[in-house]
Chains A and B, each alone.
Chain A
């Protein structure tokens, strides 16, 4: 399936700014478009690399951005929001993928996320997507915003600045959330898995 025309995405990004139901609908459509595109990209990657199950989510998000939005002039905020949506979609893609494969009769490729630059597990370890996903869910119950910071940065590759923009908080707050989330997740995922 070819990617949707770029103009659609740009249009949706603009519509998203509209108030009320129109904006929400645009966001939902945007999510679906991005989700589909990421799923397709990830799928292609997995088929190509049957044995190397390391996906770099942020690279995929960036690729999706280039394919869906490309060089179109969109403003910085729209880009940040696009990335915010992508982060969630990317997480969903990986989780769905992991679940599908977990359910599959015979393993072919359980997705591992390399948490680019985020030493959530022992350095160099790939963390199982589902494990991270579940840990993040647990963490979200404690600290929703900090969990979203992780989602944006890990799955979306957003910078502190961009994350701050999406969440409408100060970069300093993002830094703090990020630091605490990292410690919490490291502890959670770094354990023997027997917690």
Chain B
């Protein structure tokens, strides 16, 4: 864009911003007459304009210093109603709330709108307010939900009085709305459920309201609910964040409305999402029976707090006596509430946060069940049930944390399984019950403690990352569980496993070693726990590529397994399984196959878990057979068998089913049956979309695989949306720096390369390599892959020398005897060919070809590509006799295996044309060369290929004296395809 052009764009943009949003489109269109490009540019920029966020953070320091100084000198100024606050003009009072006055105010710049402005007339440290506001504002601004009034802006007035503005809502408090309209109970429940939806949304964003009450829940005339003041209570909380130094009583200055406060708030303890569940319980109670749970004579705050802490609330059915909805008598209402609704309310109102509904979702869910006439879940309240729910409560927390939580949920289930085993050994039922209760409680308390730390109301200022939670967790495990080495080791072990899944291998190694050492000390060698630790450690060695260490560790684990369990125990099979996986990574396929078959030979009960474990072994054996000895058919059969077993046990919609489909797809992919691969990936994607809903790492992985297969099929256009969706999803789910993001970047880069956007591709490849380095480390094979891809791209861009250097590095790091090595040798050979190093290039092609022929079906398209490359080299060296048979074979394979019209086929034709010309068969030669050039142009071949085929045709015409045709083609003409 030229400078003049940009100036014009800016001018139109600024003028457009002056206008109301609704009038902008028309204005822009009018401002760009006859210039659609200009209009498109302006519109694409304007599309990024959103309601401007506040400017509160800018210059905050100035205000902070100013405000604090003033506050120190003068104390809070006298309450006056200013005409303007910030950029808002006060229109009139809206009311007075617990925290101060509320005004209707008007904003004129940059857009015109009416807002609600609250002045906080409380003994607040204005510096502290700004600090908190700064910390919270961004988070709160993210809360965009139709049921939540948006926070707009905030600051200090000239007098240092904190204020903030939010979306103006024209509505009445929910309790009044219900009363005025005499809504029947189901209507009330529906309304309440939309409140739950909004609160749950905020909880997923790690924001706790802390001050839910009917006055903060407005219902608009059209019947939709809007929650006010989300998160504001935290900003206004006069107590320091750090609970440890907070004075234990702050009742006097508390801004909360005591009637809706939860016991933990009264006790001044950390609040969590469970606090909102409690307040919702009070509101629900009130909406149902017209009263609050605790009736206290007089208005003493102290008595009310006492009741909140100690009194058992009356069930709403027993309290329903005041103003039943019109048309319903009190007795009928009592009957309606008795039972499920009583249970639901009382569960939400439990004193102990962990005994309430574990999430607003669950409360909501139970109400739905009630409305649908299904049994509610509130009644079940066992330790195991609560524990699981407790973990689930946090599932939606932060995305980064979510992964950890899911895995940590595994802590519990692992325990459950292990406890069951211990139960088998336990001497007496009583001892066993006691053991179970103790362990389950400790694990639950521990896991719960971790998440308290991740709660935004406890964590200070920043969201805790998953890693931090784990670091804290590990620290707590070391100190608090020191007297219980067995549990300590189990937790260290699990946290280590989670670190592995987060790719924090160094941290993981330390913890796993620690767990192993503790267990060895406790149990000696041949003990199940020791074996499990060894196995984790060995798998980690495997993952980080330290194969010798992995082998000795996993071999030892297998030996010990045979002593720790009976030789036919499923765990023995599992130890064989992990060792087999190592061998697979080492490309020791024969060893892997032997172990997997041995594991499969251990008789398992033909049904249930045994059959499922066998399905897993079978699926892995299939992969070994595929990669080790190209037994695609056998692999396909075994994977199909595994799929059948899994579907029978698990139904169609299950992660193992989709994983199995992916394996089948990979198998087809390597076999070169890209269309089959595509359809299997599509199936897997469908399953996973139904399993996981929107954004999920597994869905992203499916999208990626599908995109890759489409690219390989030669259909980059179809592939692009999948690859882009995959990358965008991964960035959202995993954050910008993550191994899997790097993978998506890599694959999108390869697509851009296929589409001819070489600069974009190079940028993404480099980004991907960088992200791999940062996540899996320099030495990982993913980084090597990146070099391989980048090298290939540099070659396509015409930077042969640089390409050769990068590819040599990639080859140096590539394991011998792999198909990948063949591919890279080939790419290096291409670069060397361009650089005139023909001898080495030929050697490399021949080696790659031999290797591919050994390992792949004869008609694999990779072989076709290598034949084409080798043929081209011979053609360019004038060795037409050697070139021709190879090119013929290439055409044969590529035609059958690639999408019709793929440029590689055309390129082979062109090279064949050169051969035929050399044999003096001019007519055939012309036809082939023309079809070749036309084909690489229409088939989207890389630029260097187009240039090469064009040059070949030009040379051909020049050689037979047809100068005019030569010039025409040289000038860029595209030949029309003659009849063959």
Query: What are the 6 closest A-B residue pairs judged by CB atoms, nearest first?
Result: A159-B59, A107-B774, A186-B48, A159-B58, A183-B48, A183-B45
Which residue of chain A has the shortest Cβ distance to B52 in the bound complex?
Answer: A179
CB of A157 within 8 A of CB of B58, answer yes
A153 to B53, CA, bound (A): 14
Interface residue ranges, A against B (CB under 8 Å): 51-52, 54, 58, 62, 65, 79, 101-102, 105-107, 110, 112, 114, 116-119, 122-126, 128, 142-143, 146, 153, 157-162, 175-176, 179-180, 182-184, 186-187, 190, 192-195
13 residue pairs from A and B, CB less than 8 Å apart: A58-B57, A102-B770, A106-B778, A107-B777, A116-B134, A123-B142, A142-B1, A157-B60, A162-B58, A180-B45, A187-B45, A192-B728, A194-B748
A contact residues around B60 at 8 Å (CB): 58, 157
A159 to B462, CA, bound (A): 23
- Residue in A62, A117, A159, A194 whose beta carbon sits within 8 Å of that of B757 in the complex: A194
The proximity string for B residues 521-544 relative to A, scoring 1 for CB distances below 8 Å and 0 otherwise, is: 000000000000000000000000
- Residue in A110, A143, A153 whose beta carbon sits within 8 Å of that of B58 in the complex: A153
Which residue of chain A has the shortest Cβ distance to B471 in the bound complex?
Answer: A51
CB of B57 within 8 A of CB of A116, answer yes
Given the known A-B contacts A119-B50, A159-B59, are A192 and B44 also in contact in the complex, defined by CB atoms under 8 Å? no
CB of B44 within 8 A of CB of A187, answer yes
The answer, yes or no, to whether B671 is at the interface (CB within 8 Å) is no
CB of A183 within 8 A of CB of B138, answer no
Q: State the Cβ distance, B839 to closest chain A Cβ, in Å.
A: 35
A contact residues around B763 at 8 Å (CB): 193-194
Given the known A-B contacts A52-B465, A123-B141, A192-B724, are A179 and B49 also in contact in the complex, defined by CB atoms under 8 Å? yes
Q: State the Cβ distance, A53 to closest chain B Cβ, in Å.
A: 8
- Centre residue among A119, A122, A128, A183 by max chain B CB count within 10 A: A183
Q: State the Cβ distance, A172 to closest chain B Cβ, in Å.
A: 9
Within 738-784 of B, Cβ neighbours of A (below 8 Å) are at: 745, 748-749, 752, 757, 760, 763-764, 767, 770, 773-775, 777-778
Given the known A-B contacts A123-B141, A194-B757, are A52 and B58 also in contact in the complex, defined by CB atoms under 8 Å? no
Q: Is the interface of B mostly helix, strand, loop or mixed?
A: helix
The proximity string for B residues 429-464 relative to A, scoring 1 for CB distances below 8 Å and 0 otherwise, is: 000000000000000000000000000000000100
A177 to B109, CA, bound (A): 15
CB of A110 within 8 A of CB of B774, answer yes
Q: State the Cβ distance, A137 to closest chain B Cβ, in Å.
A: 15
A122 to B729, CA, bound (A): 12
The proximity string for B residues 34-51 relative to A, scoring 1 for CB distances below 8 Å and 0 otherwise, is: 000000000011111110
- Residue in A102, A106, A180, A195 whose beta carbon sits within 8 Å of that of B777 in the complex: A106
A115 to B727, CA, bound (A): 22
- Residue in A62, A146, A194 whose beta carbon sits within 8 Å of that of B764 in the complex: A194
Count how many chain B residues have C-beta atoms less than 8 Å from C-beta atoms of the other chain: 60
B contact residues around A128 at 8 Å (CB): 736-737
A contact residues around B3 at 8 Å (CB): 142
CB of A194 within 8 A of CB of B752, answer yes
Stretch of B6-14, B248-256, B405-413 at the chain-chain interface = B6-14
CB of A107 within 8 A of CB of B773, answer yes
A58 to B55, CA, bound (A): 13
A58 to B135, CA, bound (A): 12
A65 to B58, CA, bound (A): 15
The answer, yes or no, to whether B731 is at the interface (CB within 8 Å) is yes
The answer, yes or no, to whether B927 is at the interface (CB within 8 Å) is no
A63 to B52, CA, bound (A): 27
The answer, yes or no, to whether B854 is at the interface (CB within 8 Å) is no
A contact residues around B424 at 8 Å (CB): none
CB of A117 within 8 A of CB of B770, answer no
A contact residues around B58 at 8 Å (CB): 117, 153, 157-160, 162
A128 to B7, CA, bound (A): 28
The answer, yes or no, to whether B137 is at the interface (CB within 8 Å) is yes
Given A51-B467, A52-B468, A194-B763, 7 new contacts (CB under 8 A): A107-B775, A107-B777, A117-B53, A117-B138, A160-B55, A193-B727, A194-B757
Within 716-732 of B, Cβ neighbours of A (below 8 Å) are at: 724, 727-728, 731-732
- Residue in B53, B732, B770 whose beta carbon sits within 8 Å of that of A119 in the complex: B53
CB of A157 within 8 A of CB of B61, answer yes
CB of B465 within 8 A of CB of A117, answer no
CB of A117 within 8 A of CB of B727, answer no
B contact residues around A143 at 8 Å (CB): 6, 10
A contact residues around B62 at 8 Å (CB): 79, 159, 162
CB of A105 within 8 A of CB of B13, answer no
A contact residues around B510 at 8 Å (CB): none
Q: State the Cβ distance, A164 to closest chain B Cβ, in Å.
A: 11
Within 31-87 of B, Cβ neighbours of A (below 8 Å) are at: 44-50, 52-62
CB of B55 within 8 A of CB of A182, answer no
CB of A179 within 8 A of CB of B14, answer yes
Q: State the Cβ distance, A29 to closest chain B Cβ, in Å.
A: 23
CB of B764 within 8 A of CB of A193, answer yes
Q: State the Cβ distance, B293 to closest chain A Cβ, in Å.
A: 37
B contact residues around A110 at 8 Å (CB): 737, 774
The answer, yes or no, to whether B17 is at the interface (CB within 8 Å) is yes
Q: State the Cβ distance, A8 to closest chain B Cβ, in Å.
A: 21
Q: State the Cβ distance, B912 to closest chain A Cβ, in Å.
A: 36
Q: State the Cβ distance, A190 to closest chain B Cβ, in Å.
A: 7
CB of A182 within 8 A of CB of B48, answer yes
A contact residues around B1 at 8 Å (CB): 142
B contact residues around A123 at 8 Å (CB): 141-142
Which residue of chain A has the shortest Cβ distance to B109 in the bound complex?
Answer: A175
Q: State the Cβ distance, A91 to closest chain B Cβ, in Å.
A: 16
The answer, yes or no, to whether B240 is at the interface (CB within 8 Å) is no
The proximity string for B residues 9-31 relative to A, scoring 1 for CB distances below 8 Å and 0 otherwise, is: 01001100100000000000000
The answer, yes or no, to whether B110 is at the interface (CB within 8 Å) is yes
Which residue of chain A has the shortest Cβ distance to B764 in the bound complex?
Answer: A194
The proximity string for B residues 142-159 relative to A, scoring 1 for CB distances below 8 Å and 0 otherwise, is: 100000000000000000
A contact residues around B728 at 8 Å (CB): 192
Which residue of chain B has the shortest Cβ distance to A173 in the bound complex?
Answer: B14
A193 to B462, CA, bound (A): 27
A180 to B735, CA, bound (A): 27
Which residue of chain A has the shortest Cβ distance to B2 in the bound complex?
Answer: A142
CB of A193 within 8 A of CB of B45, answer no
A106 to B773, CA, bound (A): 6
B contact residues around A65 at 8 Å (CB): 61
Q: State the Cβ distance, B734 to closest chain A Cβ, in Å.
A: 12
Which residue of chain B has the shortest Cβ distance to A185 in the bound complex?
Answer: B48
- Centre residue among B3, B60, B732, B752 by max chain A CB count within 10 A: B60
A contact residues around B110 at 8 Å (CB): 175, 179
A194 to B758, CA, bound (A): 10
CB of A142 within 8 A of CB of B6, answer yes
Within 98-152 of B, Cβ neighbours of A (below 8 Å) are at: 109-110, 134, 137-138, 141-142
A contact residues around B13 at 8 Å (CB): 179-180, 183
CB of B745 within 8 A of CB of A193, answer yes
CB of A126 within 8 A of CB of B757, answer no
Q: State the Cβ distance, A37 to closest chain B Cβ, in Å.
A: 16
- Residue in A142, A179, A180, A192 whose beta carbon sits within 8 Å of that of B748 in the complex: A192
A102 to B766, CA, bound (A): 11
A109 to B770, CA, bound (A): 12
B contact residues around A183 at 8 Å (CB): 13, 45-46, 48-49
A126 to B770, CA, bound (A): 17
A194 to B10, CA, bound (A): 24
B contact residues around A195 at 8 Å (CB): 760
A160 to B52, CA, bound (A): 14
CB of B59 within 8 A of CB of A176, answer no
- Residue in A105, A119, A160, A193 whose beta carbon sits within 8 Å of that of B767 in the complex: A193
A contact residues around B138 at 8 Å (CB): 114, 116-117, 124
B contact residues around A182 at 8 Å (CB): 48-49
- Centre residue among B55, B764, B777 by max chain A CB count within 10 A: B55
The proximity string for B residues 354-395 relative to A, scoring 1 for CB distances below 8 Å and 0 otherwise, is: 000000000000000000000000000000000000000000
Which residue of chain A has the shortest Cβ distance to B777 in the bound complex?
Answer: A106
A41 to B599, CA, bound (A): 57
B contact residues around A157 at 8 Å (CB): 57-61
